[in-house]
Every structure is written in structure tokens, then in C-alpha cells.
Amino acid sequence: MPSPSAVEVGSRAARPGAWRRIGARLARHELVVGWPWLLPWVIAVAPVFPLARPLFEMFRAQAPFPMDLEWMEGGQLYHAWRLAHGQPVYGPPSQGFVPFAYPPLHFALLAVVGAVAGFGYLPARLLSIGAFALAAGLLAREVFRHAERGPHRYALALLALGTVAATVPVVRGWYALVRNDSVAIAVTVVAGALAVAPRPGPARLVALTAALVAVVYARQTGVFFVAFIVGFVALRDRRRGLALGGATLLAGSALLALLEWRSQGWFLRYLLCQRHHPLLEQQIPAGLWEMLKAAPYLAVNPVLAAFLVGRHALSARSALWVGLSLAAYPAGLLPFAKAGGVTNNYIPIVLLAGPAAILLGIDWTRLLAGRGRRQLALLAFVAPIGVHLYRVPFDLSPFTPSPPAVQRAAALNAWVAALPGEVLTLNHPMLAVLNGKRTEQLHARAIRDAADGRIGGFGVAALLRRTRPDWVLAGRDFMELGVRTAVLRYYRPVRSVPAVVPMTIATRVSPTTLYAREPERRGLRVLFDFEDGGLSGWTLDGEAFRGGPAADVDAVLGVILGVDGRALLSSFAPGTGDAAKGTAISPAFTLDRDVISLLVSLGGAPKNRVELRVEPDRVVAAVQQARLEVLEEFRWDVRRWRGHRARLVVIDGSTEPGGRVMVDRVELFDP
């Protein structure tokens, strides 16, 4: 007679053991299909794969676009071009070229890429795309290493890549641009990956030191990441942390000293000029809301991290990446609030948040006993991330150049290449350089940054006189910042460009008008340029003008736009400042040319004016309206009084703040 156990093999009493065995096999991934294997892949693949194709298509369209996608791209590339051709980058502003207020790592990398692959938008944008891919790959690798062994590790890594890709719309398709942002986040992620090791050896410490120096010299705000990483290493091993901090400080300071020496002391002035930009705190809440919509786990990460700390369950890897994610807030929000709310400043905040959230979820599941329960808990944690990625708006068409835009850009390049002679393309320097023009270029954004940072003395007019380009190609944006004054002194508009190419991303500044160089100023005679610092022969009445010409415009008056050289005549008086009133009468001179020109600012005060008086004392011309702290050129036709003796009379009748009179470079010439 069969034993009871044999009879009951197929009975209800035996079934729980069978289900337990099947569950154990599923937990060990011994079956091809099962929820521990399948569901993580469904959660990852369903939302991530639809992101891949439009991202690839956007990069494929952006990379070869033959012009700026964003108005500072050409400026970044031109910095590298100057560096590769032995021209100064961080030299004095009087040279004409003014650099962006950025450290040199990105320029140096672009110069190396240009030396190997040639200068152009394609290799430069491939550098940015490669840096973005490196950062995303390393973050996915961190998630993969932190997860428990099994196929779901790959699914979690793929999900981390999805959280990175989902940030593209909120940063406005920025990752491919010829800007320093992708390189900056890549070197930050490299430094974080190197700092994860619990007891880094000498070789890793050297590599980490180099990476930390690179973080700071990629973008100034990298100091927040460097401070956190050094503190993180020090908390785990004080001796290694102190060694890392000391080595980073020493290497960074040595490089700073070298750059200061090579730039004659200008490097640090340019680098720090953004500290003077006004802080627009009202932009921060709107920016945070935009980031939260793109990466809702930004709100969850600090809470979950605090919970895990309380349970002594926060791993070192999670602590590192969550800490870097928190350090990204000042690194991103400070320039966002200062720089007009440009969305590239979102990058470090939103890019690190997703992988950090997945790492925290893995830590949370480890509080649970049993592998099956941990996997269920992890699925419950990452499922909302997958749902968010599936629902995130991922329309990249606004950041993808259209075929008509490509055609217009090609037509504009061909037109510039066909222009005879040299061309200065304001704000789009590579439009000239890549089409065979070799005249020196400049960028209004750099001049704006320097002016906001109280650096002046821009040599725009001197650059135009020295290089004498045949043409200037500009958009409407150039009619500011004193660039207008310099250009319109020597150039006149002749026609519109045949193809206007609007920028695809951020500030939409496009070349619209061609300016031709005016004929040489025949018989040019400079009457007064005030560069000698004296007022010999001038007659002064009242307190104004008693200080003589402002020999250091920045120190005495602040930044005056449109100044020609380093000095000008100003009614701003020592002690009394703008409250001073008075008159300055020039020595007599002969009107032996047909035209007299002068640069004037009246501080917006109606009682201020500049007069031309023909002897004995007849007012034949006057300037009574000129913008505040922007010198503009005025011309008087004096052929009627040719041969007569005349004087220039500068009158300050205002006591209002800012109501000063300023005069610079008075010239006589024949048209």
C-alpha cells in the first residue's frame, strides 16, 4: 500500500512547497520569464526607448549645423582658435578682444580638438555630446554597481540613463552646444566616480586631484562640488582628505599663478567680474518649479536621504551622489539668478537628481529582510520614476535645426565667403573665420559681462582703426554697449543680409545688416584725446573739471561705454562728484578741415551741453542731448567756417547724481 506521503504529492498540502520552490528559482533568476526579471525591464524600457530616437535625431541635426545654434557658441570656439594660433585670450581689454568670464578648460580642449580634427562646429559639438554621454554613462555605471546582482541591475542602469535623457527639454537641448556646460558636468561626474572608493590609493588620489582642478577650471561654480568631494573624502579618511585638499589647492593655485602671469594680471579680473552682476532672486522660484516638473525626485531625495541617515542605512555611494546633487543647487541657481535665467544653469541640478534617487531607492530596499521583498519594494520605488519618464513631454523639435534653417545657414556662409576683403562678424566670429577671413573678432556678450563687472577701457574703436576690416556684419543687438559708437564712426549700413538665420536655442541674435567701411578720413587731425592726462591751455571756471582728465576711467567714473583709449574729459570732480558745476574752454584751434567729430555723454541732464564757438564768441554748433554713461559720436559740418579760429566749450550746469559731462577724442578731417 502506498505511503501517505506518496499519495499526497499532488494534493493541496503539497502545493505550498512547490510555490516556494518556484519563487526561489525566480528569485535566483533561474527562469527566463518572471516578475523579478521582467518587470524592471518593462519599467525601464517602456519609457526610455521612446526617448532615445528623438535625442539621437536632435544630436544628429545639431552637430553639423554650420552656424551658431546659440549666440555664444561661436565666441567659445573663437577663444580656442585664438589660443591655438598664439593670440592672447585673457589680455587687457584695450586690445579690442574681450574674453568671456569663463575659466580656460573648455577653450583648451577645443583647441586640442581643433588641432586634431580642424576647427569647426561639428568636432566642437561632438566634444560636448561626448562629454554628456560620458557623464550619463558613469552615472548609470554607479547605479549598476550599487544594485544587487542579477539582470535587474541592467534595467536600473537603463532607467538612470532615462532620467538623464529626460532633462534635455528643460535645459532646452543644450548638451550638444559649443559651451562649457557639458564638459563641466562630465569632469564633475568623473571626480565623483573617483571619490567613491573607500580608501583611494596614491594613483587614484592623483587622478582625483587632477579631476577636481579640472572641475574648477571648467566653470567657476565647480568650487561647490570640489568642497563637497574633499569633505566627503575627509569624513571617511581624514589623512587622505587633507592630502587631497592640500594637493588640489596647491595645483589649482599654481595654475592660477601661471594664468595671472601670462595674462598680466587680467585673468582673475575677468573670472570674477560676474560677482558684480545683480542677483535677481525672483527668478529662482520659477526656475525651481521648472526643474521640479522635469525631475520631481528633486523633492524626494533630501527627505529620503534624511530618513536613511536616521536609520543608519545611507550608503557611502548614495551619500556622495546625493551630496553632489545638493551642491548643484548653489552651483546652478547662483548663475541662473545672475545671468538672466538661462536654462543651461539647470544642468547640474536636474542631471544628478535621477540617478541619485535610484541609488537612494536601492538603499531603502536594503532595510527589508528577504530578497523577494527587497525586489518588490524596489519595483514600487522605481515604478513612479518610469511612469514620470513615460509621461514627460519630450518634444525636441524646438531645439532641432530644420532643413530650411540649414539651407539659410549654408547660403549665409557662402555669401560671407564671397565678400571681398576682411569681415568683422559681431557676436558670430566663426562666421568670418570659417569662411577664410582673418581679421580679429569680438563679442558683445563678453563686453557686457566685463562692463557689469566694472571692467572698461574696451578698445573697440582702436581695434577697428588697427585692423580696418572692409565690412562689419551685425544684428540689431550690436546697437548698444558702446560698440554702436565705435562701428558707426567708421562704417555705414549698405544692405540687409540675403539669409537671416535665427538662433535655435536661447538668445536669438542673428546677423541682419552689412556695414561698409567709410572712405579714409582724409587729413585726420586729432585735436584732443586727453591721453596725456593734462588740460594744458584749457580755461576752467567752477569746481567741475578741476580733477583733469580721468586717466583711469574704471577707478574714477566706473565703466563708461564708448570711451576711446584710457582717458577722457569729465566734469566729475574730486570731493563734490556729480554735484560740481563749471565750464571748460579749450585752447583755440583753426578749422582747417570740413568736419569736426567728438564723443559726448551729457549724463541725461538738460542743463549740460557742449558747444563749438567760432571767434569772437559765436555758437555755431552744439550737443544738448546724449545718453547716460554711453559716449556717442557727433559730427558737425564746419566747411562754412573753414579757416576761422574756434574753441570747444564744455558746460556742466547740473548738480543731479549722474549728471556729468564727458568728452573724448575730438577730431578734424575731410570727408
pLDDT value of position 30: 40
Range in 93-107, 238-252, 446-460, 631-645 the model is least confident about: 446-460
Residues of the chain above pLDDT 70, percent: 88
Which residue spans within 8-103 are E strands per DSSP?
none
Main-chain dihedrals φ then ψ at residue 412, nearest 5 degrees: -65, -40
- Residue 452 counted as domain residue: yes
Name the residue with higher pLDDT: 350 or 545: 350
Q: Decide: 134 and 254 in contact? Cβ < 8 Å.
A: no
Q: Decide: 411 and 499 in contact? Cβ < 8 Å.
A: yes
- Residue 10 counted as domain residue: no
Indicate if 456 and 535 belong to the same structural domain: no
Pairwise CA distance, residues 238 & 226, whole Å: 16
Indicate if 184 and 260 belong to the same structural domain: yes
pLDDT value of position 348: 94
Range in 120-129, 150-159, 316-325 the model is least confident about: 150-159
Nearest to 565, CA basis, from 578, 554, 581: 554
Q: Decide: 178 and 129 in contact? Cβ < 8 Å.
A: no
Matching residue, cell 572608493: 197
CATH for 600 = 2.60.120.200
Over residues 283-327, the pLDDT tens digits come to 778 788 888 888 898 999 999 999 999 999 999 999 999 999 999
Indicate if 511 and 533 belong to the same structural domain: no
Neighbours of 253 (CB within 10 A): 11
Q: What is the DSSP letter of 315?
A: -
What are the Cα distances from residue 391, in Å, to 46, 50, 190, 381? 11, 11, 30, 17
Pairwise CA distance, residues 665 & 263, whole Å: 28
Over residues 247-261, the pLDDT tens digits come to 999 999 999 999 999
Q: Decide: 145 and 369 in contact? Cβ < 8 Å.
A: no
Neighbours of 61 (CB within 10 A): 21
Task: Label residue 484 by pLDDT band (50, 70, 90).
Answer: confident
Neighbours of 130 (CB within 10 A): 14
pLDDT value of position 20: 59
Name the residue with higher pLDDT: 547 or 391: 391
Adjacent-strand bridge partners of 621: 612
Indicate if 147 and 296 belong to the same structural domain: yes
Last residue within a domain, chosen from 470, 499, 518: 518
- Residue 96 counted as domain residue: no
- Residue 578 counted as domain residue: yes
Main-chain dihedrals φ then ψ at residue 263, nearest 5 degrees: -100, 5
Average pLDDT, the chain: 86
Q: Span 424-447, mean pLDDT?
A: 92
Q: Span 470-488, mean pLDDT?
A: 75
Indicate if 411 and 368 belong to the same structural domain: no
Residues of the chain above pLDDT 90, percent: 52
Q: Decide: 83 and 456 in contact? Cβ < 8 Å.
A: no
Cell numbers given for 366: 536594503
Indicate if 593 and 468 belong to the same structural domain: no
What angle separates helix 121-146 from helix 73-84, to the nearest 10 degrees?
Answer: 100
Over residues 487-530, the pLDDT tens digits come to 888 888 888 888 888 777 866 678 888 999 988 888 999 999 88
Over residues 172-226, the pLDDT tens digits come to 999 999 999 999 999 999 999 999 988 888 999 999 999 999 999 999 999 999 9
Over residues 345-367, the pLDDT tens digits come to 899 999 999 999 999 999 999 88
Indicate if 117 and 180 belong to the same structural domain: yes
Nearest to 630, CA basis, from 474, 448, 484, 490: 484
The sign of the dihedral angle between the CA atoms of 233, 237, 240, 245 is: positive
Pairwise CA distance, residues 40 & 28, whole Å: 15
pLDDT value of position 555: 42
pLDDT value of position 32: 38
Q: Span 13-18, mean pLDDT?
A: 48
Residues contacting 486, CB < 8 A, separation 6+: 460, 461, 464, 562, 564
Indicate if 416 and 378 belong to the same structural domain: no
Indicate if 412 and 508 belong to the same structural domain: yes
What are the Cα distances from residue 558, in Å, to 68, 81, 270, 284? 33, 32, 16, 29
Main-chain dihedrals φ then ψ at residue 609, nearest 5 degrees: -165, 165
- Residue 79 counted as domain residue: no
Pairwise CA distance, residues 240 & 230, whole Å: 9
pLDDT value of position 596: 95
Pairwise CA distance, residues 501 & 70, whole Å: 11
Pairwise CA distance, residues 597 & 592, whole Å: 13
Pairwise CA distance, residues 621 & 647, whole Å: 11
How many domains are there within the chain?
3
Q: Does residue 574 carry a pLDDT above 80?
A: no
Pairwise CA distance, residues 41 & 35, whole Å: 10
SS3 content of the chain, % helix, strand, coil (to 5): 55, 15, 35
Question: Residue 125 carries which side chain, given as an amino acid letter?
Answer: R
Indicate if 206 and 280 belong to the same structural domain: yes
Pairwise CA distance, residues 126 & 120, whole Å: 10
Over residues 373-432, the pLDDT tens digits come to 777 788 888 888 988 898 888 999 999 999 999 999 999 999 999 999 999 998 899 999
Last residue within a domain, chosen from 495, 518, 541: 518
Q: Does residue 575 carry a pLDDT above 90?
A: no
Residues contacting 277, CB < 8 A, separation 6+: 338, 339, 449, 452, 453
Task: Label residue 82 by pLDDT band (50, 70, 90).
Answer: very high
Over residues 225-234, the pLDDT tens digits come to 999 999 999 9
Cell numbers given for 405: 534653417
Range in 8-12, 158-162, 574-578 the model is least confident about: 8-12
pLDDT value of position 19: 52
- Strand 645-652 to strand 609-614: parallel, antiparallel, or no bridges (unpaired)? antiparallel
Q: Does residue 33 carry a pLDDT above 60?
A: no
State the SS3 of 583-618: EEECCCEECCCCEEEEEEECCCCCCCEEEEEECCCE
pLDDT value of position 145: 94
Indicate if 351 and 409 belong to the same structural domain: no
The verdict on whether omega for the bond into residue 616 sits within 30 degrees of 0, i.e. cis, is yes
Indicate if 505 and 358 belong to the same structural domain: no
Task: Label residue 26 by pLDDT band (50, 70, 90).
Answer: very low
pLDDT value of position 353: 95
Q: Decide: 613 and 649 in contact? Cβ < 8 Å.
A: yes
State the SS3 of 121-158: HHHHHHHHHHHHHHHHHHHHHHHHHHCCCCCHHHHHHH
- Residue 87 counted as domain residue: no
Q: Span 463-475, mean pLDDT?
A: 90
pLDDT value of position 274: 63
Name the residue with higher pLDDT: 439 or 545: 439
- Residue 163 counted as domain residue: yes
Residues contacting 303, CB < 8 A, separation 6+: none
Over residues 595-640, the pLDDT tens digits come to 999 988 887 788 889 999 998 889 999 988 766 667 888 999 999 9
Q: Radius of gyration (Cα) for the chain, nearest Å?
A: 32
Helix (H) or strand (E) holding 663, with range, is strand 662-670
Adjacent-strand bridge partners of 632: 600
Q: In sequence order, what DSSP letters do the residues of 355-371 get, joined into one string?
A: HHHHHHHHHHHTTSSSH
Domain that holds residue 366: 32-62+101-393
- Residue 89 counted as domain residue: no
In the sheet with 491-496, reading across from the earlier edge strand, the strands are: 423-425, 471-474, 513-517, 491-496
Last residue within a domain, chosen from 337, 364, 393: 393
